[in-house]
Amino acid sequence: MKQPKPSATALLQGTLDVLILKALALEGLHGLGISRRIEQISGGAFQVKPGSLFPALHRMEEAGWLSASWGESENNRRAKFYQLTPAGRRQLQDETEQWTRISSAMAQALETS
Amino acid sequence: MAWWHRMKMLWRNLARKREVSADLDEEIRAYQAMLEDEHLQAGADLATARRLALLETGGAQQIKEEVSDIRLGVTLETVASELRQSLRGLRRNPSLTLLAILMLALGMGASITVFSIFQAALLQPMPFREPDRLVELWETRLARNIDRSSFSLANFWDVHDRNHSFEELAAYRYDNANLTGVGEPQKVSASSVSTGFLRTLGVAPVLGRDFVDDDVRGGSESSVALLGNAFWKQQFNGDANVIGRTLRLGDRAYTVVGVLPRSHVWLNDQIYIPFGSGPNMNRGSWEFSVIGRLAKGVSLEAASIDLEQIAASLDQEYPQDNKGMGFLLGSANEWVARTNTRLALWVLLGAVGLLMLIACLNVANLLLARGTARHREIAIRAALGADRTRLTRFVMMESLLLSALGALLGLGIAFLSLRAMQTLQIQGLSRLDDASLNPWVLGAAVFIALMTGLLAGLAPAVHVPNGAITGFIRDGERQTGGRGANRLRAALVTGEVALSFVLLVGAGLLIRSFTELVNVNHGFQSENRMLFSVNMPSSYWQDDSGKQFIDRLLGQLEALPDTLAVGSISHRPVEGGNPGMSIATHATTADAAASHWAGWRITSPGYFRAIGLPLLRGRLINDQDLSVWRPRDKATPARHVVISAALAALLFPNEDAVGKQVVLWKGQSNLNAEVVGVVGNNHERGLADNPALTVYIPYGPGALTSEFVIHTRGNPSGLAPIIRSMVAGLDPRLPVADLRSFDDIVHRSVSPQRLNASLLGVFSGMALILAMIGIYGVLSYSMSHRTAEIGLRVALGASRSSILRTTVVQGMRPALPGILLGAIAAWWLSQAFANLLFGIKPFDPLTYAAVTVLLSLTALAACYLPARRAMRIDPAVALRAE
């Protein structure tokens, strides 16, 4: 029930968090904005369903990486906006470094014949 | 400050639940609305846009649940809500709840009470420094079958000086003295202890100082004393100025140098007097108990090896007294509770464990019954999406809640029953006053409650339906409950009956053993007899004055109008000490192996008649018989003794003992004596002991008796003041002590056995009631669901008796295998407490038969109500109800 179903766009365990952090790195966004931004920066590879997005957002808020506040959307709808907190920025930095290390190591591992 | 943030979030989630939830609702709604906007912008019409948005968002409810599943405090919250539901459930069914709590509380109350006693006696460390280094020592003469004896004074000091294993070694000898000059003269316990006694225990006086070697320099007799704490408080009102005061004990004066700390057990004499080592110490008479404190890092084994070497050298140096000697080392745990007391406590603990288990099974049974009745509720919950873990937890929660409530009530019961036992001064338990609901006991109570809750919830939890939900819903109101559940409930009843059987057998054995014990042929008569003791001062031992005092006192007692007989003896029967000697027949003097151990007592001629000991052969001691001890300068006349029948049979099998010569204190003073009479056997060492092998030695100057017996026509209890004034008239310095009826002495001597038997009796009675409730519950429950079936049968012509028969058979079916299983388990378990039994074997057919009958009758009684109900079923009503 709690496990996301595997599919073409299934996110690696733990990737969703870093994608959300990255999506919010420039500016605060609301839920839909975040999923659109993730689609955009991943070149459409990742589509985040609300069933995964909202639990992740709330978990990260409770962890102190995001802060949430109500605001106005671009077409004047009341929406909840999420911003990175300083702790969130640190987390993004840590995870980015980690991902870079892993992906380069993976790339190297897969290239050597 | 991450944790602070988390705490804030947790608080928000728990305290402002509704706002958080509304907030999330709105957030999801906004998300949907914005999706809708996107689709509208892409050119869709309103209806399509709305539908697509709805589709892409997915179920809002599901999202909400997923979010709340990850929220902080979600477990806490579910548990709380389940707890509320359980409480509500229990409140809806008050009679069941009350019954379950009551059963658990009874079991818990008994368990906690017994555990607190057990803990005080066996687990609480003694109030001494590093008690695990304390040991007890005995001399042994294994070749002569003496596997533990007290120490002789000389051997003690030799071991004290030669060992390399002990930090300190101390000897003590229990003794009494007459205290005069402080109020009325009174007999006090005044043990002699070696100067290192308190150092060995690691106890320091709370007032004044400990003994020092200078107190007893060069073996001189001590003139200082320490006071026990209770005695100091009671006699001197806890006055600190008592240090330096002079006390007169017998004929000597002692200066108080200190007061001992408060101690419940073991260190509870009234006065302690030190002794030291000196020249010409006695090596032949074993009088001293010895304790030691192992040096740091020395094991019991290493100390034993050390002692073996000392024993070997002492054997070489003093062959006359120490031939074949050895030493035995024992842990100090035995000080508080001897082996049998320990065993009895374990048996009691086992008994309450069984009782608890029975209560547990009963509650499981109740919950299971209700569980079947509630299948619909559970099925609906399952249909609404509660998963199996949640349902199991829900069922478990209920039993945990019940057991927690039961434990609370049980703690109350335990508190009250401990109080009651302590106030009533129940005899036969060591360290009862130390028992309390301390953290240890509370911890155990929590543990028991937890285990009980889990155990009782196990069966119902296993029976949570996992698959055929719809089946249960379809089942609707009929609530037949699965066959599986019924079988499980029957199995629980079987287990309950088996456990009850074990408990009942245990109680039955102890009760039977107790009646055997009190009905054993005592050998003596205790009715209408009064005993008291008068401690003889040491001056009485020097000349004839002691014997004169005894004769005058006996004469005055004899002259009382209701007196039938009077007599005196050196050691009080049943509860007095038991001094012994080696004895052999004259012919086999050279052969050491042929010597036997026998107790000795000094008696006045009238003693035998006074306690009703029959003369079997020869004659009793008379006034012309002289004491076996006499001054060396006087010519030794013939010594005459009377022996018990058992000793006569041992020494002179198939012969008449009268007129035969025996050697008393064989291997030591080797006194020749002639047997002039044989008297009946009696249990003077206590009812549970074998009939004594005893030599009765005539009293005389230097061989005094301090215990007096008076046999009167009626109840002698009114004699106390007369006896006191009589003794005071003869010698005002001498206190009368321990004035009690012989019946009372005998009664008290078996109080541990009585207590064990009655406690086990109570526990097994409770078990019986619980088993009855269990059988009744199962049967009446299944009957209530067979109303229609029975109605149909009656309509088809089944007779009442056949209905009765089927009901009873159904009720008895789970009970009978329980009885069989119980008998096997009881047979197996009861071997373990054979040592507690007197006069019967662990497999006592009478007990087993009685328990079988009792349990069967109980089961039948439990069937009565359901059977009667079944017989009265009116077919018309029953069928219409369907």
Residue numbers in A near B35 (CB within 8 A): 32
Per-residue confidence (pLDDT) for residue B62, from 0 to 100? 82
B486-517 confidence digits (pLDDT tens)? 778 888 888 988 999 999 998 899 899 888 88
B181 and B278 both lie in a single domain = yes
How many other C-beta atoms lie within 10 A of the C-beta of residue B592? 15
B521-559 confidence digits (pLDDT tens)? 888 888 999 999 998 888 888 888 888 999 999 999 999
pLDDT at A4 over 60: no
Select from B17, B32, B66 the residue whose CB has the most chain A CBs within 10 Å, as the one to mutate to test that interface.
B66
Which residues lie across from B354 on neighbouring strands?
none
Tokens of B571: 């050691």
Tokens of B550: 């005894």
Domain membership flag for residue B798: yes
* Helical segments of B519-622, H only: 538-542, 545-559, 607-610
A21-41 confidence digits (pLDDT tens)? 999 988 888 888 998 898 888
B345 and B471 both lie in a single domain = yes
Complex ipTM value: 0.84
Decide: helix, strand or coil at residue B606.
Answer: coil
Is B57 an interface residue toward A (CB < 8 Å)? yes
Mean pLDDT across B733-743: 89
Tokens of B214: 């200078």
pLDDT at B560 over 60: yes
B234 and B154 both lie in a single domain = yes
Q: Is A61 close to B71, i.e. CB distance below 8 A?
A: no
Last residue of a domain, one of B704, B734, B764: B734
B430 and B579 both lie in a single domain = no
Which residues lie across from B585 on neighbouring strands?
B662
Name the residue in chain A with its Cα closest to that of B11. A62
B423 and B397 both lie in a single domain = yes
What confidence category does residue B821 fall into, taking pLDDT thresholds of 50, 70 and 90?
A: very high
Residue matched to tokens 């290493």: B302
CA atoms of B411 and B420, how far apart (whole Å): 14
Nearest CA to B846 out of B500, B515, B355 is that of B515
Q: Is B66 close to A51, i.e. CB distance below 8 A?
A: yes
Q: How do the domains of chain A map onto residue ranges?
A: 15-111
Mean pLDDT across B814-825: 90
Give residue B675's Cα distance to chain centre.
44
Per-residue confidence (pLDDT) for residue B220, from 0 to 100? 63
B710 and B855 both lie in a single domain = no
B356 and B292 both lie in a single domain = no
pLDDT at B562 over 80: yes
Domain membership flag for residue B601: yes
Q: Is B67 close to A58, i.e. CB distance below 8 A?
A: yes
CA atoms of B852 and B819, how far apart (whole Å): 7
Last residue of a domain, one of B273, B301, B335: B335
Tokens of A39: 């689609």
Query: Is the C-alpha dihedral spanning B820, B822, B826, B829 positive or negative?
Result: positive
Last residue of a domain, one of B307, B335, B363: B335
Quick one: DSSP state of residue B618?
Answer: E
Q: Is B30 close to A75, i.e. CB distance below 8 A?
A: no
What confidence category does residue A11 fall into, taking pLDDT thresholds of 50, 70 and 90?
A: low
Residue numbers in A near B34 (CB within 8 A): 30, 32, 73, 75, 77, 79
Q: When comparing pLDDT for B173 and B93, which is higher? A: B173
A42-100 confidence digits (pLDDT tens)? 888 888 888 888 888 888 888 889 998 888 887 788 888 999 999 999 999 998 998 88
Count A/B contacts: CB-CB distance under 8 Å: 71
What is the per-residue DSSP string for B320-380?
Answer: HHHTT-EEEEEEGGGGTS-HHHHHHHHHHHHHHHHHHHHHHHHHHHHHHHHHHHTHHHHHH
Per-residue confidence (pLDDT) for residue B479, from 0 to 100? 45
Residues 6+ away with beta carbon under 8 Å from B571: B577, B578, B579, B601, B707
Nearest CA to B156 out of B175, B173, B180, B181 is that of B173
B375 and B323 both lie in a single domain = no
pLDDT at B464 over 70: no
B698 and B756 both lie in a single domain = no
Q: Is A50 close to B24, i.e. CB distance below 8 A?
A: no
Residue matched to tokens 């049974």: B365
B25-60 confidence digits (pLDDT tens)? 888 888 888 888 888 888 888 888 888 888 888 777
Domain membership flag for residue B110: no
CA atoms of B421 and B436, how far apart (whole Å): 11
Q: When comparing pLDDT for B170 and B120, which is higher? A: B170
Mean model confidence pLDDT for chain B: 84
Q: Is B5 close to A55, i.e. CB distance below 8 A?
A: no
Nearest Cα of chain A lies from the Cα of B464 at a distance, in angstroms, of: 20
B177 and B302 both lie in a single domain = yes
Q: Is B216 exposed, middle or buried (0-12, 13-18, 19+ CB in 10 A)?
A: buried
The helix/strand count (H/E) of chain B reads as: 29, 23
Per-residue confidence (pLDDT) for residue B687, from 0 to 100? 83
The contact set of A with B (CB < 8 A) is 1-2, 30-32, 49-51, 54-55, 58-59, 61-64, 73, 75, 77-80, 87
* Helical segments of B189-299, H only: 197-201, 229-236
Nearest Cα of chain A lies from the Cα of B2 at a distance, in angstroms, of: 7
- According to CATH, the topology of domain A15-111 is Arc Repressor Mutant, subunit A (1.10.10)
Domain membership flag for residue B186: yes
pLDDT at B477 over 70: no
Per-residue confidence (pLDDT) for residue A1, from 0 to 100? 38
Per-residue confidence (pLDDT) for residue A8, from 0 to 100? 39
Is B26 an interface residue toward A (CB < 8 Å)? yes
pLDDT at B591 over 70: no
- Percent of chain B whose pLDDT exceeds 70: 92
Q: When comparing pLDDT for A2 and B108, which is higher? A: B108
Residue numbers in B near A64 (CB within 8 A): 2, 5-6
Tokens of B755: 């207590």
CA atoms of B137 and B526, how far apart (whole Å): 37
The three-state DSSP-derived secondary structure of B811-852 is HHCCHHHHHHHHHHHHHHHHHHHHHHCCCCCCCCHHHHHHHH
Is B860 an interface residue toward A (CB < 8 Å)? no
Residue numbers in B near A80 (CB within 8 A): 23, 26-27, 30
pLDDT at B478 over 60: no
Select from B16, B21, B27 the residue whose CB has the most chain A CBs within 10 Å, as the one to mutate to test that interface.
B27
Nearest Cα of chain A lies from the Cα of B6 at a distance, in angstroms, of: 6
What confidence category does residue A9 fall into, taking pLDDT thresholds of 50, 70 and 90?
A: very low
Give how far Cα B204 sits from Cα of B173, B196, B214, Å: 20, 11, 18
- Percent of chain B whose pLDDT exceeds 90: 21
Domain membership flag for residue B80: no
Per-residue confidence (pLDDT) for residue B476, from 0 to 100? 44
B331 and B360 both lie in a single domain = no
- Provide the number of structural domains found in chain B: 4
B193 and B330 both lie in a single domain = yes
Q: Which domain holds residue B65?
A: 2-72
Domain membership flag for residue B17: yes
Residue numbers in A near B6 (CB within 8 A): 62-64
Task: Read off the amino acid at residue B807.
Answer: T
